[in-house]
Amino acid sequence: MKRRTLKTTVPTHTVLEGGGFPVRRPAAMGSLMSPFLLLDEMGPVHWDPYSAIGAPDHPHRGFETVTYMLQGAMQHRDSAGNKGDLNPGDVQWMTAGRGIIHSELPQDEFYKTGGTTHGFQIWVNLPAKDKMMAPRYQDIPAKDIPSVRSEDGGVWANVIAGETMGVKAVIDTVIPITYLHIKMDHGSSHLQTIKSGLNGMIYVFGGTVHLEGRAVQDGQLALMTDGDEVLLEARDGDAEFLILAGPELGEPIARYGPFVMNTREEIHQAVMDYQNGTLA
Ligand code: CO
């Protein structure tokens, strides 16, 4: 077994998304972290009553959006007539495929009372052959997301995609994806298998975690070298982070706002389809 080591760390910037929603976003994305196109940590942000905002109707084509809530409550609606709430611990894995138009807004009751919103939205690219697949939703409530604790109790994981400590995710992914939410108590360690050939990375959003002896801090994305497994240790206190892994797609990326295709012609077609009302 070959150990993965730290290749590089990428800092995050705080940007305002969707009309003023603060997100932390690693500064260099795209081809560096294939197949992930975007990693947004939404908040944590506190909203006064009647002030929370979200993203009104907008289209997507050619990839997947994965929303994982930690705090707060969002509501989504889409052009296919789907509607649902996202509460803490819930995951929505939306495969936009050939096209979807949706809104992601604060849930009504949450909008009235205000409160804290915290969560993640990650964009997962689709290979060329799957970009125009039929859209699909996997809305998984928190109670159905498998979680696991290590034998010594020091490591907890929520298994959104992939597998850890013998527990497999329930979400079906188009390409092989690992998406784990890990909490480690001070002094604990965790050895994670990540199949050789896949790109592996961690995003830390609480404390510091040591990746094969190298410190990765709150707000940093750490890209790993290739290998079969990675050793993670909470040497300096408790730590909380995501582990993400997936294949290098190795295909050209043509991107325009909410459309991610392979060529400019395909982007042009997506814009035309949206304007003609035939995207979704
Ligand atoms: Co969206």
Mean pLDDT of the chain: 95
- Do the domain assignments include residue 202? yes
Q: What is the domain range of residue 40?
A: 6-247
- CA 59 / ligand 1 centre spacing (Å): 7
Taken as a whole, the chain contains a residue count of 280
At 233 the pLDDT is 98
Per-residue pLDDT, averaged over 254-270, amounts to 96
- CA 98 / ligand 1 centre spacing (Å): 14
pLDDT band at 31 (very low <50, low <70, confident <90, very high): low
- CA 125 / ligand 1 centre spacing (Å): 14
- CA 164 / ligand 1 centre spacing (Å): 28
Per-residue pLDDT, averaged over 216-245, amounts to 97
- Do the domain assignments include residue 104? yes
Give the separation between CA 7 and CA 187, rounded to whole angstroms: 24
| pLDDT tens digits, one per residue of 92-144 | 999 999 999 999 999 999 999 999 999 999 999 999 999 999 999 999 999 99
In angstroms, how far is the first alpha carbon of the chain from the final one? 46
Question: Whole-prediction pTM value?
Answer: 0.96
- CA 271 / ligand 1 centre spacing (Å): 16
At 116 the pLDDT is 97
228 against 17, higher pLDDT: 228
- CA 259 / ligand 1 centre spacing (Å): 10
Share of the chain above pLDDT 70, in %: 99
- CA 206 / ligand 1 centre spacing (Å): 26
- CA 83 / ligand 1 centre spacing (Å): 14
pLDDT band at 28 (very low <50, low <70, confident <90, very high): low
At 81 the pLDDT is 85
* Confidence check: pLDDT of 29 > 80: no
Q: Quick one: residue 213, left, alpha or beta (phi over 0 = left, psi -120 to 50 = alpha)?
A: left
CATH number at residue 183: 2.60.120.10
Cβ proximity of 86 and 92 under 8 Å: yes
- CA 58 / ligand 1 centre spacing (Å): 6
- CA 242 / ligand 1 centre spacing (Å): 21
- CA 183 / ligand 1 centre spacing (Å): 28
- Do the domain assignments include residue 71? yes
- CA 80 / ligand 1 centre spacing (Å): 14
pLDDT band at 214 (very low <50, low <70, confident <90, very high): very high
At 87 the pLDDT is 97
| pLDDT tens digits, one per residue of 63-96 | 999 999 999 999 999 988 888 899 999 999 999 9
Give the separation between CA 71 and CA 113, rounded to whole angstroms: 14
- Do the domain assignments include residue 53? yes
- CA 56 / ligand 1 centre spacing (Å): 9
Per-residue pLDDT, averaged over 185-213, amounts to 97
- CA 225 / ligand 1 centre spacing (Å): 31
- CA 158 / ligand 1 centre spacing (Å): 23
Domain count, the chain: 1
At 17 the pLDDT is 82
- CA 100 / ligand 1 centre spacing (Å): 9
Locate tokens 């995710």: which residue? 169
At 32 the pLDDT is 78
At 30 the pLDDT is 61
